[in-house]
Chains A and B, each alone.
Chain A
Amino acid sequence: MQDRNKLSYDKLSRNIALAVITVSFAPLILVGGLIFNQFSSIYREKVYAHLVEVVDKHKETIDTFLREKLYEVQYLNKAYSYGQLTDPEFLDKTLRGMQQQYGRIFVDLGVIDEFGRQVAYAGPFDLLGADYSQADWYLDSRDKVSAISDVFLGLRRSPHFIIAINNFTDGRPWTLRATIDFLSFSNLVENIRIGETGYAYILNREGVFQTKTPVGRSGEFVLTPVKAILPQSSGGGDVSVNRSEGSDGEIYIKVSSPLKGGDWKLVYQQKWNDAFSAMIRSELFTLAIFLLGGFGIVAMAVIISRKLVARFRLIDNETELMNRQMVETGKLASIGELAAGIAHEINNPVAIMIEEAGWVGDLLEDERKDFSCSDEVRRALNQVRVQGGRCRDITHKLLSFARQTDPSVSNVSLSSLIGEVVNLSMQQARFAKVSFDLDLPPELPPVRAALSELQQVFLNLINNSIQAMEAEGGVLTLSCGGDGPWAVVVVQDTGPGIPAANLGRIFDPFFTTKPVGKGSGLGLSICFGIIHRMGGEIDVESSVGNGARFTIRLPFVQQPQHVEQTKEVVHD
C-alpha cells in the first residue's frame, strides 16, 4: 500500500515536472531558434556584403593604379620621339622626373628595337643591350598597342612587372618599356587584411601568385570551391563568393574578382570561423544562456513538483488521519448510544429485582422471626437491594453521560459537573494510583454552556492527567473559583510535566506524544475549540518534573437570579 502510494506520488511528481519543462521549453526553443536563424542569416549576408564591397573597392583601386601607370608610360611614348627616348641622357632625365613626380614606382625605363634588343636604358641595373626577343612579356606584347605583363623574376632575379608600349617610327616598330616596382604594387593588395586570417592576393590566368603568397603558406595551397554562395549581382559587379575547402582541411570563404580585363584575379580568402567569429561567439553565448536557463528550468520544475507533491502528500495524510478520526468519533458516538440502550434495557430487570427483593422483605416482616435463618435471609435481601441500587446508579450515570448529542446551551454549575465527571473517572484513577484533591464550592454561580461539551472537556483533561501520572501515581487537584466575571477551573497534576518544546503545540490538532494508535491528538484541541466557542480561555503551565497545570476561564452567567432554576436542570 505504502509502496503503491509512493509510486503514484512519484509518477505525479514526474508528470508535473515534465509538463512544466515541456511548456517552458517549447516556446523557448521555437522563439530562440527562429530569432537565432534570422540573426545568423542576416549576419552572414552582412559579412558577405562587406567582403564583396572590400574586394570590389580594391579591385577598382588596383585597376585604376595599373591604368594610371599605363597612361603615364603611354604619355612618354606619345610625347617624345624615338630619337629623344633613345638618347641615354634624356631617358635618364625622364626617369628621374617620373620618379620625382610619382615616387619610386617606376624602377627603370628602356627602349627596345624591332629585334627585341634594348637600345636605351635608364635605371639602377646594367641592362643596356639586353636581348628580350625571347622574353614572355615581349612576345605577349607584340601584337598589342600596350601590355602589362605578369609578375616575373626576369634578368634581375627580383619580382617585377613591365608595362610595354609599342610604336612605329619610319615603319620600324619599337617598344617603350617601364618596370613597376613590385613592392609598391603588392602593398595595395597586402593592405587588405581583415580579422586574423583574412588575406588578399592576385593570381594570373595560370593561377600563379602575382603578389606575395600568404605568410607561412607554401605555394601549393589550393582552395577547392565547394559551394557558390552568391554570384553577387547587386552592386558588386562580377565579384563571386565561394565557400571553399582549403588543402589544410579548413573551410574558407573565397571572394574573387577579375582584374586587368580578366588577366588577373583578385582573391580574398578568410577562414570561415574567423569571418564569423563574432557570430560564433554570440552562438556560444546564446547556447550557454540556453543551457543555463534550461538547467534552471529543469531544476525548478523538479524542485517545484517535488515540493508540490510533498504538500499533496501531507494533505492526503492529514485527510486520511481526519477520516480515521471521523470514523473513531462515529464509533465513540455509537458506543455511547449502545451504552444508553443497554442502560435502558438493564433498568427494567434491575427494577424488578429490587422490587421482588422488597416484596420478599415485606413477606418476611409478616412471618416475624419464626425461622432460624431469618436474619441471614434479611441480610441477603438487603444486599440484593443495595447492589441493585448500585446498578441503578451506574445505569443512571451512563445515561446522563451518553446523552452527548444534546448541544443545547444551558446554565451549568461547574462544581456539580466536575463532580460528576470525577465520579466517572474514579475507577480509572484507582488503577493509576491517583488520588483526587477536590475544591468545588457548590455556591459558585453557573456558566452558560452545552452540558455535554463541558463534560467532554473535563473528562479529557482529567483522563490526560491520570494517564500522565499512570506510571507512579500522584495527586490530581481540581479546583474552581471565581475571578471577577470569570469562573476559573484549575486542573493540576503531579505527573512528569510537559517539555517546553511541546508546550506550544499541545493544543494543535493531531499533536500527540502517545504511541501510535493510543491517542488521537484531538482531545486538547477539541477542548480548546469548545472553551473558545464559549468565549473562554484555556492555557497551560508546565515544566519537566513539575507536573502540568491547566487553567480554564469561562464567563459567568450575568443574571444571578437564575441560579435556582439552573440547578434543577443540571440534576435532571
Chain B
Amino acid sequence: MTDAVILFVDDEIGFVEAMAKRLSRRGMRVHKAFDGYAAMDLLARQADVDVVVLDMKMPGRDGLSVLKDIRRDHPLVEVVMLTGHGTVESAIEGMQAGAYDYLLKPCDLEELTDRIRGAVSLKREQEGKAVAERVHGIACSRP
C-alpha cells in the first residue's frame, strides 16, 4: 500500500495541503494540482499516478470535463470524485463517465483512504490484466 501514488486536485489550496500531508503520512505519495489544467499537465509528466482525487466544482475547468479527459488519455488511472454539491446528479454523471466512486465533501479521512485503497487495487488488477494481455500478444505474435 505504501507505493500508492495519488494526484489530489482541488481549488482549495489549504484543503489540498492538509490532505496531502495526512495521506503522505499514511504512506502514499501525493501530487497536488489546484486546477484542471495543472492536473492534466502533471498526469502527462508523471506516468506513475494510480489514483486521482478530483474535486467536481472548480473555477476554470470543472471536474467532469477533467474526468473525461483522464479516462481518454490515461485509461488505467482511477478517479475518485469529491463533490461539494448536495446533488447526486453530478456524481451519477461522474460514475457514468467512468469514475471509481464519489465522496461528499467534507469527507472523512478514513472513508477517503478506503476508497483510494479500493481504487489502487482495482488499478493494479487492470494493470496486471493489461500486462498479461500484452505478454499474450507478444507470445502470440511470435510464430
Contact = CB atoms under 8 A, between A and B. Distances in A.
Contact of A348 (B15, B86, B87, B104): B15
Given A347-B106, A362-B25, A392-B106, A355 B86 contact: no
Nearest to B84: A347
Contact of A352 (B14, B86, B107, B109): B14
Interface string B71-107: 0000000000000111110000000000000001111
B142 to A, nearest CB: 50
A46 B19 CA distance: 121
B86 A396 contact: yes
A355 B107 CA distance: 9
Interface size class of B (residues with CB under 8 A): 10 to 19
Nearest to B86: A399
Nearest to B92: A572
A335 to B, nearest CB: 16
A356 B18 CA distance: 6
Contacts of A348: 12, 15, 84, 105-106
B99 to A, nearest CB: 16
A277 interface: no
Interface in B47-91: 84-88
A221 interface: no
A418 interface: no
Given A347-B84, A355-B15, A396 B104 contact: yes
A6 to B, nearest CB: 50
B21 interface: yes
A21 B71 CA distance: 84
Given A347-B84, A348-B84, A396-B86, A359 B15 contact: no
A388 B15 CA distance: 14
B133 to A, nearest CB: 35
A348 B15 CA distance: 8
B90 to A, nearest CB: 11
B14 A400 contact: no
B117 interface: no
A347 B19 CA distance: 15
Interface string A328-342: 000000000000100
B129 interface: no
Nearest to A397: B86
A511 B128 CA distance: 71
B12 A352 contact: yes
A212 to B, nearest CB: 121
A348 B18 CA distance: 12
B22 interface: yes
Contacts of A572: 88
A351 interface: yes
Contacts of A344: 84-85
B140 to A, nearest CB: 44
A82 B104 CA distance: 162
Contacts of A358: 18, 22, 109
Interface in B11-62: 12, 14-15, 18-19, 21-22, 25
A340 B84 CA distance: 11
Given A347-B105, A358-B109, A403-B86, A352 B22 contact: no
Contacts of A400: 86
A351 B22 CA distance: 13
A354 interface: yes
Interface in B92-140: 104-107, 109
B117 to A, nearest CB: 18
Contacts of B88: 569, 572
A351 B105 CA distance: 7
Contact of B18 (A340, A359, A396, A399): A359
Contacts of B25: 359, 362
Contacts of B84: 344, 347-348
Given A348-B12, A403-B86, A354 B106 contact: yes
A399 B87 CA distance: 9
A344 B12 CA distance: 13
Contacts of A356: 14, 18
Contacts of A343: 86
A423 to B, nearest CB: 16
Interface in A381-409: 388, 392, 396, 399-400, 402-403
A350 interface: yes
Nearest to B82: A351
Interface-central residue, B21, B22, B86, B104, by most chain A CB under 10 Å? B86
A21 to B, nearest CB: 65
A352 B18 contact: yes
A450 B107 CA distance: 28
7 contacts: A347-B84, A351-B105, A355-B18, A355-B19, A358-B18, A358-B109, A403-B86
Given A350-B106, A400-B86, 9 more contacts: A348-B84, A351-B105, A354-B106, A356-B18, A359-B25, A362-B21, A362-B25, A388-B106, A403-B86
Q: What are the 9 A-B residue pairs with the smallest beta carbon separation, nearest first?
A: A351-B106, A399-B86, A355-B18, A572-B88, A352-B14, A352-B15, A348-B12, A356-B18, A362-B25
